[in-house]
Structure 1
Amino acid sequence: MAVLAWLLIPLFAAIGAAIWGGWASRSRTTEDVAELAGYARFRDAMEKSRTGGGPVG
């Protein structure tokens, strides 16, 4: 029985590593798109304030 336990430890470690690897390499493009869109809006607002575009509204 002890031999079986020592064989299961690497098996569980490999399964855990595969799960973690899949989680770590997941696609996060949706968060990046929203963040880049917010940065573009910020840049536009700063450009308007620098050129004297006046208050918004």
Structure 2
Amino acid sequence: MAAVAWLLIPVVAAVAAGLWARWAARRRKTEDVAELAGYAKFREAMERPAPGAPSRTAPDSDAA
């Protein structure tokens, strides 16, 4: 009976490894829509001037 137990250990380990490998290699859905929308909002916010900041289009008084 002890020999069966010793043979059963590698079989169970192989089945567990096969199940884990199958789970790890599964196809995952990539939902980038929310991330891309957040990035677009970030870019828009960075392009807007800060409240109270001088505008970039105003000519410098030092330019001659």
Shorter-chain TM-score category?
Answer: 0.5 to 0.7
Fraction of identical pairs, as percent = 33
Answer 1 or 2: higher relative contact order, Cα 8 Å, separation at least 6: 1
Question: How many pairs align?
Answer: 48
Gaps of 5+ in 1: 53-57
Task: Give the TM-score taking structure 2 as reference length.
Answer: 0.60
Report the structure number with the largest CA radius of gyration: 2
- Please state if 1:2 is matched with 2:20: no
Unmatched runs of 5 consecutive residues or more in structure 2: 49-64
- Cα RMSD between the aligned structures? 1.5
State the TM-score, normalizing by the size of structure 1. 0.66
| Structure with more of its chain in helix, by fraction | 1
**Structure 1 residue ranges (4+ consecutive) displaced by more than 2 angstroms after TM superposition:** 46-52
Q: Matched residues in 1 for 2:23 and 2:15: separation?
A: 12
The whole-number CA distance in structure 2 between the counterparts of 1:14 and 1:46 is 48
